[in-house]
Amino acid sequence: MKNILCLNKIAAIGTDKLDRAEYNVGTDVQNPDAILVRSAAMHDMTFGPELQAIGRAGAGVNNIPVDRCSKEGIVVFNTPGANANGVKELAVCALMLASRDVVGGVKWAESLAGTEGVAKAVEDGKKKFAGVEVMGKTLGVIGLGAIGGMVANIAVRLGMKVVGCDPFLSVDAAWNINHNVVKAASYEEVFKVADYITLHVPSTPQTKGMINAESLAGMKDGIRIINLARADLVNSVDIKAALASGKVASYVTDFPTEDTVGVPGIVTIPHLGASTAESEDNCAVMAVMEIDEFLRYGNIKNSVNFPNVSMPMSGDKRLCVFHANIPNMLSQITAVLAEAGVNIENMINKSKGDNAYTMVDVTGDVSANAVAKLNAVDGIVKVRVI
C-alpha cells in the first residue's frame, strides 16, 4: 500500500483514478510516498526517506523546495498545459479590461442605484470610461509555451498583429503557433513595437522584475501591460510611476498585492487564471497520472527537476537510480550490478541540468547488499527498486 498525502483539496476526478487497493489517499496520511499539492507552502516541510515524488496540480512550483528535492532524489512533477485554456480565456478578458475601463464603468453605474434618470446619466457619463479596440493593434507575447502560444493564436483571430519571444521555445510548441505570429529575437524587440504586452513566463532570477523602469523606457508611450503569470515579474514601484506619468495606459494583473490594489490604472484580478472547474479537474487528473506512473513503473513525465524518462518494463525488477550528471556514472552502476551477478535486460539514462536518472531492468532479484553498494557510489543520490 502506497501513501499519498493531499496538502490541498485535489479534485476527486483525479484522486478517484487511483486504485484504493494500492493507494491510501487523504489529507492526514502519514509517511507519504508521494504528495499532491496545489498552493500549500512546502519550503519549511521536512520530508521523510520514503517520499518519492511531489505532484503539483498546476504549472508553477514556487511553493516547492525544488533544489532540496533534487538533492534528496524526490521527483517534482507539474502539469503544464492542463490549465492553459482557462488562463487563455482570462487573457482575452484582460485584453478588454486593459483597453476599456469596464471595471470603473461598472462601479460607476452601480453607484447610480436609487437615483432617478439613470439612463440619461449613463449617456452623459459614459465618455469617462471610453477606451480603444484591440483590432489592428500589436500584441507582444513574452513566453510562447502552452499558455502564451494559445494567447498568441487567439489574438491573431481577434485581428491583432502578434509578435512573440521565447528563448526556450520547444519544437513541439512552435508547431502549434499560428504562422502569422512574428518571432522576435529578444524581449527588447517585442517591447519596442508592442501596443500591448502579455507575460507568460515563470518567475526565475532572469525574469523577476523584467518589467521595470529600464524596460518600460524602451516601450511605446501608452503601453498596456497584462500579467497573468507571476506578480514579481513586474516591479510595482516602477509600474506605478509609469502609470502616473502616462507612459503606461493600464496594467492588468492576476496578483493583487499591497502595492497594487486600489491604484488608478491598475486592474487587480483575484488570481483567477486557472480557477475554473475544468482547469482544476485537468490539473488533478494529470498530476495523479504522473504520480501513479512513477510510483508503479518509475517512468517520469513533466518533472521540473529530473528528465523525462520512460520505457516498458522488461525484467523481473527495475532499479531507478537518481544521480549527478557527471562522467563515469553508468559504468559504475553496471560494475556494481555485474559484481553482484545481476543480468541487465534493458537500460535507459537521461539528464536534465545537474541531475540524471537511470532505469535498469534486471533478471532476478537485486540484493540489499547490491543496493547499498550503489548508494555508496559517489554521485548517486538514491536508488529505488520496483
Mean pLDDT for 226-241 is 97
Global pTM value: 0.80
Q: What is the per-residue pLDDT for 147?
A: 93
Q: What is the pLDDT of residue 190?
A: 98
* pLDDT exceeds 90 at position 59: no
| pLDDT tens sequence across 71-95 | 999 999 999 889 999 999 999 999 9
Same fold, 1-82+277-304 and 307-386: no
- The DSSP H or E segment spanning 245 is helix 236-245
CATH code of the region 84-268: 3.40.50.720
Task: From 156, 149, 152, select the one nearest 170 (Cα to Cα).
Answer: 149
Model confidence over 320-344: pLDDT tens digits?
999 999 999 999 999 999 999 999 9
Q: Give the confidence band of 245 by pLDDT, cuts at 50, 70, 90.
A: very high
Q: Is 377 exposed, middle or buried (0-12, 13-18, 19+ CB in 10 A)?
A: middle
Domain residue spans in the chain?
Answer: 1-82+277-304, 84-268, 307-386
| Separation between Cα atoms, residue 330 and residue 347, nearest integer Å | 10
Give the pLDDT of residue 171: 86
- Copy the grid coordinates of residue 110: 452601480
Main-chain dihedrals φ then ψ at residue 68, nearest 5 degrees: -65, -40
Residue 172, pLDDT above cutoff 90:
no
pLDDT at 170 over 90: no
pLDDT tens-digit series, residues 258-281: 999 999 999 999 999 988 999 999
Quick check: 48 pLDDT over 90?
yes
Q: What is the pLDDT of residue 173?
A: 86
The residues carrying an active-site annotation are 230, 258, 271
Closest Cα to residue 236, out of 219, 217, 253?
A: 253
Does the domain at residues 307-386 carry the CATH identifier 3.30.70.260? yes
Q: Which CATH architecture has domain 1-82+277-304?
A: 3-Layer(aba) Sandwich (3.40)
Longest dimension (CA), the chain: 92
